[in-house]
Structure 1
Amino acid sequence: MNRIQYLFNTKKERVLSIYFTAGFPHLEDTLPIMEAIQAGGADIIEIGVPYSDPIADGPTIQDSNQIALENGMSLKKLFEQLKGFRAKINLPVVLMGYLNPIIQYGMEEFCQKCKEVGIDGLILPDLPMQQYLDDYKEMFEKYDLFNTFLISPQTSEKRIREIDANSNGFIYMVSSHSITGAKSGISEEQVTYFERVKAMGLKNPRLIGFGISDAETFSTASQYSNGAIIGSAFIKKIKDSANLNADIQEYIKSVIQ
Structure 2
Amino acid sequence: MLRIAVQAKGRLFEETMTLLSESDIKLSPSKRTLLVQSSNFPLEVLFLRDDDIPQSVATGIADLGIVGENEFVEKDEDAQIIKRLGFSKCRLALAIPKDIDYPGVSWFNGKKIATSYPVILENYLKKNEVKAEIHVITGSVEVAPGIGLSDAIFDIVSSGSTLVSNRLKEVELVMKSEAVLIAHNELSEEKKEILNELLFRLNAVETAQDKKYVLMNAPSDRVDEIIQVLPGMKSPTIMPLAQEGWCSVHTVLDQKRFWEIIGKLKALGAEGILVLPIEKMIL
Q: TM-score, normalised by structure 2?
A: 0.23
The higher radius of gyration belongs to: 2
Which one has the bigger strand percentage?
A: 2
Higher relative contact order by CA 8 Å / sep ≥ 6: 1 or 2?
1
Which one has the bigger helix percentage?
A: 1
